[in-house]
Amino acid sequence: MTSSTQTQVQPKLIIHGGAGSSLQSKGGLAAVRRSLYNVIEDVYSMLVSGASAREAVVRGCQLLEDDPRFNAGTGSVLQSDGQIRMSASLMDGTSGRFSGVINVSRVKNPIEMALFLQESPDRVLSDHGSLELARELQIPSYNALTDLRLKEWIEEREDKFKRTMAGVVAEPETPDLEAGRGTIGVVALDTLGHLAVGTSTGGKGFERIGRVSDSATPAGNYATKYAAVSCTGIGEDIIDECLAAKIVVRVGDGMSLQEAMWRSFTEASKNQRDLGAIALDCTGKISYGKTSEILLAAYHNGQSIGDTLEWNDGELVGID
């Protein structure tokens, strides 16, 4: 069936800006909601106009990477040696292609490198390879450091890096907006019924040099023609659960998206994991889950925009 005769479907979109332990300040909540909704409005208008799921995902990730409020791109946290190293990946559910960069430095939008690698025979590159690719593509050198992230690192260095995780959201005017699992992600269903997903992160902050997050692995970012999932939280927990791939494979094996999410998050909760995820399936079902207290996510269900910022802490999985 060609795209000219294919039945059009209602596009759907869900994004996240990380997960954490508390979101107490109303001022902080409003600011985060505004940031997420701005991205939803921009990207959803693209989908309605006929953009592909992959195009929409890249655009959404770019916008979130450019917002210093989130730990990806500009505003990324520093590793223990004071350097910023970012990771990002992209997966097209129609082609089944996964691509990404791991621990790349001095670029503004790591997701753009993941996009280029979609058409490459070598689709995941680590730090040195990513640096060479950036030079090959003539990507301008970019300093993603913000004053707040530098201040955080200096304070942690003075405390001998005893804190285990950097804040997911940079919110200096609301100090009670805490903690700590930094990633951004976008999942889109386009008018042709195609799915795509992208995830990007600055890491967990103050980590050992060379540590690899889940964001550029199928554990944290995965899509097929049946479903697509982007994860956030403690990367090691997400990898241990192989969360994104597990959920997507379960949907491909015949589970509903809600059932696959519920089973996967019930297992993660029993294993005392700290994580969250957003998901879409090919029918347009939207789902999200968390074992952490807060999931910073927003979505467009085809009629209106909603979010998870005040979602009941007692629930593992929600669906729209």
pLDDT at residue 5, as a whole number:
59
H/E stretch holding 102 reads: strand 97-104
- Sign of the torsion angle spanned by Cα atoms 245, 251, 252, 255: positive
Active-site residues, by number, are 183
For residue 26, the model assigns a pLDDT of: 35
pLDDT at 24: 47
Per-residue DSSP letters for 244-289? HHHHHHHHHTT--HHHHHHHHHHHHHHTT--EEEEEEETT--EEEE
Sign of the Cα pseudo-torsion (96, 113, 19, 238, in order): positive
Q: Residue 9 — φ and ψ, nearest 5°?
A: -120, 165
The residue to which tokens 């919110």 are assigned: 171
Long-range CB pairs of 138-145 (<8 Å, 24+ gap) are 139/107, 139/108, 139/112, 139/113, 140/108, 141/106, 141/107, 142/106, 142/107, 142/108, 143/106, 144/73, 144/74, 144/75, 144/76, 144/84, 144/86, 144/108, 144/202, 145/78, 145/84
Q: Two tokens at 206?
A: 């103050």
Residue 129 in tokens: 């390879």
* pLDDT at position 176: 36
CA distance 197 to 192: 15
Query: Which residues pair with residue 262 across a beta bridge?
Result: none
- Those residues of the chain that have pLDDT short of 50 are 1-3, 24-27, 165-168, 170-181
Residue length, the chain? 320
Torsional sign, CA 280, 14, 216, 295? negative
Question: Where do we find the tokens 């003539």?
Answer: 138
First to last CA, the chain: 30
Give residue 130's pLDDT: 93
B/e letters for 2-24, b = 16+ CB within 10 Å, e = fewer, are: eeeeeeebebbbbbbbbbbeebe
Q: Are 209 and 80 in contact (CB under 8 A)?
A: yes
pLDDT of residue 138: 94
Residue 7, both tokens = 């039945």
Q: What is the predicted pLDDT for the residue at 262? A: 98
Name the token pair of 174.
């609301």
